[in-house]
Amino acid sequence: MSGCPRCEKKQLRVEHKGYENNQLVWTIYYCHSCSFSWRDTEPETTIVHQKRDSFFRVEMDRKEKYPIVLPPGLI
Ligand SMILES: [Zn+2]
Protein backbone atom coordinates (compact mmCIF):
# COMPACT_ATOMS: atom_id res chain seq x y z
CA MET A 1 0.00 0.00 0.00
CA SER A 2 1.64 3.22 -1.16
CA GLY A 3 -0.52 5.76 0.66
CA CYS A 4 -4.01 6.69 1.70
CA PRO A 5 -6.51 6.68 -1.20
CA ARG A 6 -8.17 9.80 0.14
CA CYS A 7 -5.29 12.05 1.32
CA GLU A 8 -2.12 10.30 0.02
CA LYS A 9 -0.41 10.46 3.43
CA LYS A 10 1.72 7.50 4.45
CA GLN A 11 0.77 7.21 8.14
CA LEU A 12 -1.21 3.98 7.78
CA ARG A 13 -1.83 1.01 9.99
CA VAL A 14 -3.30 -2.40 9.38
CA GLU A 15 -6.67 -2.67 11.14
CA HIS A 16 -7.73 -6.22 10.30
CA LYS A 17 -6.71 -9.14 8.17
CA GLY A 18 -9.26 -11.56 6.78
CA TYR A 19 -8.32 -15.21 6.45
CA GLU A 20 -10.06 -18.08 4.74
CA ASN A 21 -8.56 -21.57 5.02
CA ASN A 22 -5.42 -19.99 6.53
CA GLN A 23 -4.97 -17.80 3.43
CA LEU A 24 -4.99 -14.01 3.66
CA VAL A 25 -7.86 -12.79 1.45
CA TRP A 26 -8.19 -9.12 2.46
CA THR A 27 -6.63 -6.45 4.64
CA ILE A 28 -8.26 -3.35 6.10
CA TYR A 29 -6.08 -0.25 6.45
CA TYR A 30 -6.59 2.90 8.49
CA CYS A 31 -5.12 6.36 7.79
CA HIS A 32 -3.96 8.28 10.87
CA SER A 33 -4.01 11.53 8.91
CA CYS A 34 -7.65 11.67 7.70
CA SER A 35 -9.24 8.70 9.56
CA PHE A 36 -10.23 6.94 6.34
CA SER A 37 -10.31 3.14 6.29
CA TRP A 38 -10.57 0.78 3.35
CA ARG A 39 -10.22 -2.85 2.35
CA ASP A 40 -7.54 -3.70 -0.21
CA THR A 41 -10.04 -5.67 -2.32
CA GLU A 42 -12.23 -2.63 -3.07
CA PRO A 43 -12.31 -1.22 -6.64
CA GLU A 44 -9.33 0.85 -7.78
CA THR A 45 -11.63 3.86 -8.19
CA THR A 46 -11.98 3.70 -4.40
CA ILE A 47 -8.52 2.70 -3.19
CA VAL A 48 -6.11 4.23 -5.75
CA HIS A 49 -5.73 7.96 -5.15
CA GLN A 50 -4.99 8.79 -8.80
CA LYS A 51 -8.12 6.91 -9.95
CA ARG A 52 -10.36 8.21 -7.20
CA ASP A 53 -12.87 10.95 -8.07
CA SER A 54 -11.35 14.25 -6.92
CA PHE A 55 -14.57 15.06 -5.06
CA PHE A 56 -13.75 12.19 -2.68
CA ARG A 57 -10.11 13.15 -2.10
CA VAL A 58 -8.95 15.23 0.86
CA GLU A 59 -6.15 17.79 0.76
CA MET A 60 -4.88 17.72 4.35
CA ASP A 61 -2.57 20.70 3.68
CA ARG A 62 -5.56 22.86 2.67
CA LYS A 63 -7.89 22.47 5.65
CA GLU A 64 -9.50 25.85 4.82
CA LYS A 65 -11.36 23.95 2.05
CA TYR A 66 -13.37 22.16 4.74
CA PRO A 67 -14.80 24.86 7.00
CA ILE A 68 -17.47 22.72 8.66
CA VAL A 69 -16.38 19.98 11.06
CA LEU A 70 -19.20 18.15 12.76
CA PRO A 71 -18.48 17.25 16.37
CA PRO A 72 -18.94 13.59 17.30
CA GLY A 73 -22.48 12.65 18.30
CA LEU A 74 -24.36 14.95 15.92
CA ILE A 75 -24.55 12.51 13.05
ZN1 LIG B 1 -5.83 9.64 4.64
State the DSSP string of 8-73: ----EEEEEEEEETTEEEEEEEEETTT--EEETTS-HHHH-GGGS-GGG---TT-GGG----PPTT
Q: How far is the CA of 30 from the centre of ligand 1 (A)?
A: 8
Q: How far is the CA of 68 from the centre of ligand 1 (A)?
A: 18
Q: What confidence tier does 75 reach under pLDDT thresholds 50, 70, 90?
A: low
Q: Are 29 and 38 in contact (CB under 8 A)?
A: yes
Q: What confidence tier does 52 reach under pLDDT thresholds 50, 70, 90?
A: very high
Q: Per-residue pLDDT tens for 1-46?
A: 689 999 999 999 999 999 999 999 999 999 999 999 999 999 999 9
Q: How far is the CA of 46 from the centre of ligand 1 (A)?
A: 12
The conformational region for residue 19 under phi > 0 = left, psi -120 to 50 = alpha, else beta, is: beta
Q: How far is the CA of 5 from the centre of ligand 1 (A)?
A: 7
pTM value is 0.81
Domain segments of the chain as ranges: 1-53
Could you give the CA distance from residue 68 to residue 63 in angstroms, rounded to a whole number?
10
